[in-house]
Structure formats: structure tokens, C-alpha cells
């Protein structure tokens, strides 16, 4: 299925690295609701599985953009964790999954290393430090915008710690039967992909050094969404 989209060009950029005369040779996908003129950034380990479940009834679909056309790839949201802007994005609202960065990066460490039951000791704190350093320095290529939001601030930031409050600020959600019936509020009380360990275990693994690594990589993120620089402290 091909939909002509005038406001989106076939020229993509990431973090200012490409000017608008350069054509990207790869197709990049994005979740868009044409009905609500909104696109999604689903940064990993920010509650995106939960967000996908909530938004599945709001006409979001997964498209590729090519030659001024939207090419429909899936009739549902795809959990693509890349964060791109595109010429014409100003004509759409941006809805973004947000989470305390300290918790987010520890959750990635647990997930990618399959270490849910990891003991908090000096050796494992060092493992976490090495993983974090590698992640911050080398693995953010396709998610730079989710770190700083310099290219685009989200119109609808949805913080994992304040789900119902933040969903309640989105007009097309508040106007829906899903919201008015109370079903959304109940859904936000249900956690998915929750560790069997205590919710704030990540605080035990941070030191001043590793906390500074995260904070000074993305201070704007903390400022935009109201996260405390010292929230890692127990």
C-alpha cells in the first residue's frame, strides 16, 4: 500500500549529520498515525511494550518513507527503537516514551546480558560500568535524538513513572472511549516486563562515576522531563 505524503520528503537526517541535499540510501521506518497526525519515538527500555499495547487502538501503523511516499509495512506499531526526524516533521506531533535514564541504562544492561539475578558487588558494578561506557560511547548511533531531543522536543512525553498523568495530557487519548471508560487508567496500573527484583535495584549499582557518565551525556533529557540528577542515590 502506498500513500502519497506531501509534507514528508525522501531525505532523512540524523542529528545534523546529513544536509537536505543528501539522499539516504537506506529506508527508515517510523510509526505514524495519519489520523492523529502523530509519530512515535520508542526508545528501548522505556516502557515501549506497554506503550504499544495502549496505543494499538489509535491507528498507528509502521511505514517506510521513499520518494515522497509512505509505504505501509505493518498495520500495527513496530517496536523500532531508532529515533529520527525528517523534513516536514513539524507538521506532526511527536509522542515519545520517556524514563529515568539511570533506570533505563541499567535495564538495558540486565536485558542484553541476561543477568536479571545479578548480585550487587564490586565485580558486577565494574561490569555495569564497562557496559555503560560502551553503550554511551558506541551504541547510540540510531538513538541520538532520544538522548538530547535537540532536533525535536516531544509534544507528548510519556514518562514510565507517570503514565496515566502523561497520557491524560494527550487530546486524542482523552477524547477516546478507552480513556473515558477508565480502561486506560487501569491499564497504566499493570506493569509488563517487570524484573522479579525490587523496582529500584538499579540504584545499588550506580556510583558517582557511573551516574556522572549518564548525566553529563544527556543533561538536557534530565532537564526536559524533570528527573533529578541525584535520583540514583539511595
pLDDT score of 212 more than 90:
yes
Mean pLDDT of 8-22: 38
* Beta-sheet strand order (sheet of 93-98): 2-4, 69-74, 61-66, 29-33, 38-41, 93-98, 156-159
> ∠38-14-89 over CA atoms, to 5°?
25
Residue 52 within a domain:
yes
Q: Which helix (H) or strand (E) holds 178?
A: helix 177-180
Residue 233 within a domain:
no
pLDDT score of 16 more than 60:
no
Total domains, the chain: 1
Residue 80 within a domain:
yes
Mean pLDDT of 216-228: 96
- 54-69: per-residue pLDDT in tens? 999 999 999 987 766 7
Residue 232 within a domain:
no
Q: Which helix (H) or strand (E) holds 53?
A: helix 48-55
Residue of 118, 55, 43 whose CA lies nearest to 83:
43
Q: For residues 142 and 82, is the Cβ–Cβ distance under 8 A? A: yes
pLDDT score of 52 more than 70:
yes
Mean pLDDT of 45-50: 94
Q: Is 23 left (phi over 0), alpha (psi -120 to 50) or beta?
A: beta
Domain holding 31, by residue range, is: 2-225
- 166-189: per-residue pLDDT in tens? 999 999 999 999 999 999 999 999
pLDDT score of 48 more than 60:
yes
Tell me how far apart the alpha carbons of residues 103 and 97 are, in angstroms, rounded to a whole number: 14
Residue 132 within a domain:
yes
Residue 202 within a domain:
yes
Residue 231 within a domain:
no
Q: Is 59 left (phi over 0), alpha (psi -120 to 50) or beta?
A: left
Residue 234 within a domain:
no
pLDDT, mean over the chain:
84
Amino acid at each position: 500500500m502506498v500513500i502519497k505524503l506531501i509534507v514528508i520528503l525522501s531525505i532523512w537526517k540524523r542529528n545534523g549529520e546529513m544536509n537536505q541535499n543528501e539522499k539516504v540510501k537506506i529506508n527508515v521506518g517510523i510509526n505514524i498515525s495519519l489520523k492523529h497526525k502523530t509519530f512515535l519515538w520508542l526508545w528501548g527500555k522505556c516502557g515501549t511494550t506497554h506503550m504499544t499495547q495502549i496505543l494499538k487502538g489509535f491507528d498507528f501503523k509502521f511505514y517506510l518513507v521513499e520518494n515522497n511516499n509512505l509505504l505501509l509495512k505493518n498495520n500495527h506499531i513496530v517496536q523500532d527503537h531508532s529515533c529520527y526526524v525528517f523534513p516536514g516533521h513539524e507538521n506532526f506531533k511527536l509522542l515519545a516514551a520517556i524514563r529515568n535514564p539511570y533506570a533505563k541504562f541499567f535495564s538495558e544492561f540486565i536485558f542484553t546480558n541476561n543477568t536479571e539475578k545479578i548480585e550487587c558487588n564490586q565485580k558486577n558494578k565494574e561490569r555495569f560500568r564497562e557496559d555503560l561506557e560502551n553503550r554511551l560511547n558506541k551504541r547510540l548511533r540510531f538513538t541520538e535524538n532520544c538522548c538530547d531531543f535537540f532536533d525535536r522536543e516531544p509534544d507528548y512525553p510519556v514518562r514510565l513513572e507517570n503514565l496515566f498523568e502523561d497520557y491524560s495530557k494527550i487530546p486524542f487519548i482523552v477524547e477516546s472511549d478507552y480513556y473515558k471508560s477508565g480502561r486506560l487508567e487501569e491499564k497504566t496500573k499493570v506493569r509488563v516486563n517487570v524484573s522479579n527484583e525490587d523496582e529500584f535495584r538499579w540504584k545499588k549499582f550506580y556510583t558517582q562515576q557511573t551516574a556522572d557518565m549518564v548525566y553529563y551525556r544527556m543533561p538536557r533529557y534530565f532537564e526536559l522531563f524533570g528527573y533529578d540528577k541525584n535520583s540514583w542515590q539511595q
